């Protein structure tokens, strides 16, 4: 299954790949070079398909758990001062996604969308310390009775050129459902209450909509 954000790109890429195959077959007479070019074009198309895949996840909805919004590796677990919305201390857990990870963003908790905002910005590498403040990003705050307010921030990386955010203010959302998509490399920061029990470790690999990040 492929994410709807990739349908157009996959279709255009398929047309380009077919065209390149005809050109290579018609104009390249050296056998080894023709086969190498065709294999290269095919690998390119497979990578496009890989990037936009949207595998079904088995989310076990639980109001006491905050799930990982994305697939990737945990690169930050620290107490920070969140200055955009909360303006107080929170526990930040950041997950970095390589171009090979699934890039669907999922709601970490169920609840009401209390805040949703897009910020244009730079395209620093996703692990840069200032990426969360200077890169293109979206900020979403979800609220429920168990966790209170939880903020997650989609951050574009050096290759990402478009962040898609489905979270609409004052709408009710379900844990694990699609909340957005980041095209070509990125990171997601999750800001949790200080009394949340963190259930992951640095460098741990997590799966969006399944791995438990924190528990109340």
- Annotated catalytic sites, by residue? 186
CA distance 93 to 80: 10
H helices of 7-98, in order, are: 7-27, 31-51
Q: Would strands 148-156 and 186-192 be described as parallel, antiparallel, or unpaired?
A: antiparallel
Helix (H, G, I), strand (E, B) or coil at 86: coil
Residues 6+ apart with CB under 8 A from 214: 65, 66, 91, 93, 192, 196, 197, 198, 199
CA distance 91 to 100: 27
């Amino acid at each position: 299954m492929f994410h709807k954000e990739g349908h157009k790109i996959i279709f255009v890429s398929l047309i380009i790949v077919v065209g390149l195959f005809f050109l290579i077959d018609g104009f390249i007479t050296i056998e080894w070079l023709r086969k190498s070019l065709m294999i290269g074009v095919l690998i390119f198309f497979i990578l496009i398909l890989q990037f936009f895949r949207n595998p079904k996840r088995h989310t076990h909805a639980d109001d006491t758990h905050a799930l990982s919004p994305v697939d990737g590796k945990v690169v930050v677990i620290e107490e920070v001062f969140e200055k955009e919305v909360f303006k107080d201390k929170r526990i930040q857990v950041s997950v970095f996604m390589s171009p090979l990870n699934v890039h669907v963003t999922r709601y970490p908790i169920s609840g009401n969308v209390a805040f949703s905002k897009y910020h244009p910005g730079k395209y620093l590498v996703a692990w840069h310390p200032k990426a969360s403040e200077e890169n293109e990003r979206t900020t979403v705050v979800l609220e429920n009775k168990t966790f209170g307010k939880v903020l997650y921030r989609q951050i574009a990386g050096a290759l990402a050129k478009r962040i898609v955010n489905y979270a609409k203010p004052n709408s009710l959302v379900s844990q694990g459902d699609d909340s957005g998509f980041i095209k070509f490399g990125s990171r997601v920061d999750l800001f949790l209450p200080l009394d949340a029990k963190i259930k992951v470790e640095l460098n741990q690999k997590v799966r969006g909509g399944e791995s438990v990040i924190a528990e109340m």
